[in-house]
Amino acid sequence: MLNKKNISILYLSLLLCTKAIAQDIAFARKIVNDLCAPEMFGRGYVNKGQQLAAAYIKTEFGAANVKPFKDGYEQFFGFQAIAFPYNIDIKFDDKDLVVGEDVIVSSGCPQTKGVFSVFWIDSSTIDNPQEFKEFERTPFYKTFLVVDAIKGKKLNNATAAQKILDNGYKAKGLIYANQTKLTASVSMDWDSYPILYIVKGAINRYQRNLKLDIQSEANDYGVQNIAGYIKGTQYPDSFIVITAHYDHLGKMGNYALFPGANDNASGVAMMLDLMKTIQRKPLPYSVAFIAFAAEEIGLLGSLYYTENPLFPLQQISMLINLDLMGTGDKGMTVVNATLFPEEFQDLQLINLNGNYLPTVNPRGKAANSDHHYFTEKGVKAFYFYLMGEYKYYHDVNDTPSALTLSKYNEAFSLIYQFIREYSTAKE
């Protein structure tokens, strides 16, 4: 580890090198716009969106002239996923709900079509013995149960599902009403029953009839990680690895598109920008770049990679995973900081000397992005994400126009300086 005095000297020397190697925020903005375009279909499991994004990133790897590890940049693998490529119509009485704005369905929602009644329940229904006895005697075969909080405390989702559906009441499905935010996801498995999430104010207790046409399907999907490297000038068998996942949630029905600007077109943009910069002035260590598929469905791309590495994992000196890099007004958080305190302190000193971000916060180990399986294999890995006033996550509003890329230049400079310092510290 370098002390504050030494790192200040190193910072000054590196500053001379990096004056001419600047970040390219216009390039980053173009990458974000391209990856979030309607033609990418949300980079998910509808209309081959994930494959289209992979092809785009492969072109960027080629343009940067990075080397493939084998015959090409792709590392292929596959799995089953639930998708909603067709129609989703949801109507309460005479009111059509807009998918993505008023309502979303659960990630493993089975195909459901028909007209159903609805029965509103709240905590008093469950907690009051007399009401619960009456509830138990009621047939619900053509009914959706609506979980509400009108009469009492908010009913816990897991408790509701367990008490209402999983214990034999045989209702058709479940609705969580009065949601403050619609947060979607993707799944490999079917749910036991359809679940709808509806925002506050979109329906009321006077509405009793529900008409549904939800079309979903499970298919086997072939996807690919995209990987390449820039050869080190002095230690070509030692690698710094920079990663970012490029997949997102895709579409839900014909019209609800989840662009994924912050999550994680922003991380891909930062990775590709670093790639261009390092290619212009290679480092003593080799630097590998991996764009992972299938992060959103359970870190499957990075799991597959760690089980089938393109070069020995023991050759990775440091891995940096970039996710949620779109706005940094409140600084940056570093997952695994507590596992590698010396490297984290170096990062903080570089930030202090460069006055880049307001703060660099430590966080412990967490299985929340593609660094995780590398950590489990004993690889030294950090996961960087930026913090700011950005409330959109896994929803239709995470768009390029909403993404400010505030503090992008500063975050880029900090990360690049850290990579360069780490690579030159061995000299």
pLDDT number for residue 401 = 97
Q: Which one, of 99, 43, 297, 100, lies nearest residue 185 by Cα?
A: 297
- pLDDT at residue 426 is higher than 80: no
Alpha carbon separation from 378 to 288, 318, 381 (Å, rounded): 18, 11, 9
Helix (H, G, I), strand (E, B) or coil at 256: strand
pLDDT-based confidence at residue 302 (cuts at 50, 70, 90): very high
Distance, in Å, from the CA atom of 287 to the CA atom of 319, rounded to the nearest integer, reads 10
Mean pLDDT of the chain: 91
Question: What's the pLDDT tens digit per position in 236-255?
Answer: 999 999 999 999 999 999 99
pLDDT number for residue 168 = 57
Percent of the chain at pLDDT above 90?
Answer: 78
Its pTM stands at: 0.92
Question: What's the pLDDT tens digit per position in 8-26?
Answer: 445 444 444 444 455 689 9
Burial environment of residue 182 by CB neighbours within 10 A (0 to 12, 13 to 18, 19 or more) = buried
Question: What's the pLDDT tens digit per position in 320-359?
Answer: 999 999 999 999 999 999 999 999 999 999 999 999 999 9
Question: Which parts of 108-255 are beta strand (E)?
Answer: 112-121, 143-147, 173-179, 195-199, 209-214, 217-230, 235-245, 250-252
- pLDDT at residue 5 is higher than 50: no
Question: What's the pLDDT tens digit per position in 175-186?
Answer: 988 889 999 999
Sort strands 95-96 and 88-92 into parallel, antiparallel or unpaired: antiparallel
Least confident of 32-36, 144-148, 273-277: 144-148
pLDDT number for residue 17 = 46
pLDDT number for residue 165 = 60
CATH fold for the domain made of 88-214: Glucose Oxidase; domain 1 (3.50.30)
Contacts of 63 (CB under 8 A, 6+ apart): none
- pLDDT at residue 403 is higher than 90: yes
What is the average pLDDT across 67-90? 96
Q: How many CB atoms lie within 10 A of CB 352?
A: 14
Question: What's the pLDDT tens digit per position in 205-226?
Answer: 889 899 999 999 999 999 999 9
Q: Which one, of 403, 419, 74, lies nearest residue 246 by Cα?
A: 74
For 319, phi and psi rounded to 5 degrees? -115, 135
pLDDT-based confidence at residue 68 (cuts at 50, 70, 90): very high
What is the average pLDDT across 33-54? 98
Question: What's the pLDDT tens digit per position in 149-166?
Answer: 544 455 555 455 556 665
For 214, phi and psi rounded to 5 degrees? -110, 120
Side chain identity at 37, as an amino acid letter? A
In the chain, domain spans: 4-80+219-424, 88-214
Within 13 A of 330's CA, how many CA atoms are on the CB side?
7
Percent of the chain at pLDDT above 70?
Answer: 89
CATH code that applies to domain 4-80+219-424:
3.40.630.10
401 or 6, which is more confident?
A: 401
415 or 150, which is more confident?
A: 415
